[in-house]
A and B are shown apart, each in its own frame.
Chain A
Amino acid sequence: MSRSEAALSPAPPPPAAQRLAYIVDDDRDMRMSLRMLLQEDAIDARPFLSAADFLDALPELKPGPVLLDVRMPVMDGIALLEALTERGVRWPVIMMTGHAEVPLAVRAMKLGALDFLEKPFPYEEVSALMARAFELVDAQARQGGDAREKLELLTARERQILDAVARGMSNKEIAGELDLSHRTVEMHRGRMMRRLGARRISEIIALVSGAEH
C-alpha cells in the first residue's frame, strides 16, 4: 500500500484483545456474570470489589468504560464518580442501580456519567451500550493525539504561557511570574493562539485537558 493510501484509509480497529473495561461492584455474582457476558463480545473486563481497589489500580489502567455499581459499602458509586472527576478521568462510566431516582441520575450526569443501567438489565442492553462507550474511548484517544500534535508546534515560551493561561492567569500575572513585559506576553500569547488555531480561552483549556488523556 502506498503512503497516500495509508493516510486515506481509516485506522484499522484495534485487535479484540485490547478492548478493556472495568467492573466495580461489591456483589461477587454480578462481577462474575458481567465478566463472562462481556467476554462474549471480546471485552476483557477487570473486576474490582470496591471503589478503593479501583482507585488504587487507576494509575496503571488504560482508558476504558467502567461499569459502576451505585450502592456499595464505605465508598459508593457516586463518591467514586466524584473521585474520578477530581482526577480529570473522563472515561465513559455506566452506573448500575436498582432504580435510577431523578436526583441520583442528575447528580451522576453532572459528574459526567454516560448512562444508567437499571437492574436487572438484559444483556443486549449492556452489549449495545459498551459498543457506544468504546466509540467514545476511541474518539477521546484521537482528540488527545490531535491535541498533543498541536502542542508540539509551540515554542517553549509559548508553552509556558499556554500553561499559565490554562491555569486562569491574566497577562499581567503571567508577565510578573515570567519576568516579561506585558507587551511581550501579549505577543507570545497571540502567536500561541494562532498556532493552535484557537480563538477562545475555553478552546485552549479543552486542548490542554485533551492532551493529558
Chain B
Amino acid sequence: MSMLSVPIQTDVVVNQLAYNWAVHFHTDQAAASSPPPPKRSRYQHGKPESAARKTKQAKFWWPVPNGILTTERPAKIYLFTDSKVQAWLKFRNLASQWRVERGATSSITAAAMCDAYQKIIGMGPDAIPLIIAQMQSEGDDPDQWFWALQVLTGVDPVAEEDRGDYVKMAAAWIAWAETEEYAG
C-alpha cells in the first residue's frame, strides 16, 4: 500500500481553526445580545424597546451587614469599602464635627478636649497618616493637629521658637512624617 506523503503546514491549520472558532463565537454572541425588536401594535402606547429592556433588567443586590445580599432595598443603604477608606471617611467626619464643636473658642486646650478631636486620637496610629494628609491639604492655613500628633507619636519635632506659628509647625510635622514614611 502506497502512502502519499504530503507536507502540512501546521501553523496554517491552527490559524484556520482559531479563525473558525472566533467567527462562530462572535456570531453566537451577537445573536444572543441583539434579539429581534418586538413588533409594535398600532394600538400599543409607549416604547416597545424600553418595555423589553425593563423585563430583562437584572435585580439589584443590596449589601447589608454580615455579608448578606438582598434584592429588597434596605431602609438604610450601606456603603462597603476597604478599611483604609473607612478610616479616612471616619476621620473626615470627625474633623467636620470637631470644627462645629469647638466653635469660636480661642483656647487650644478647649479645642483639643472636644469629643470629636478625642475620638480622632482614639483612632490610634492609623490616624497619623490621615492627619498628615489633612495637614498637607490645608496649605498655609493649617489647623491644630499638633496636639493629636504629639499624643499619637510621642514626639514633637517643632522648634521652640516656632511655637504658635501653625505654618512652621505644620512644616516641621510634615518633614517629620516624610522621614518616618507617614506622608503620602
Do A and B truly interact?
no
Interface residues of A (CB under 8 A from B): none
Interface residues of B (CB under 8 A from A): none
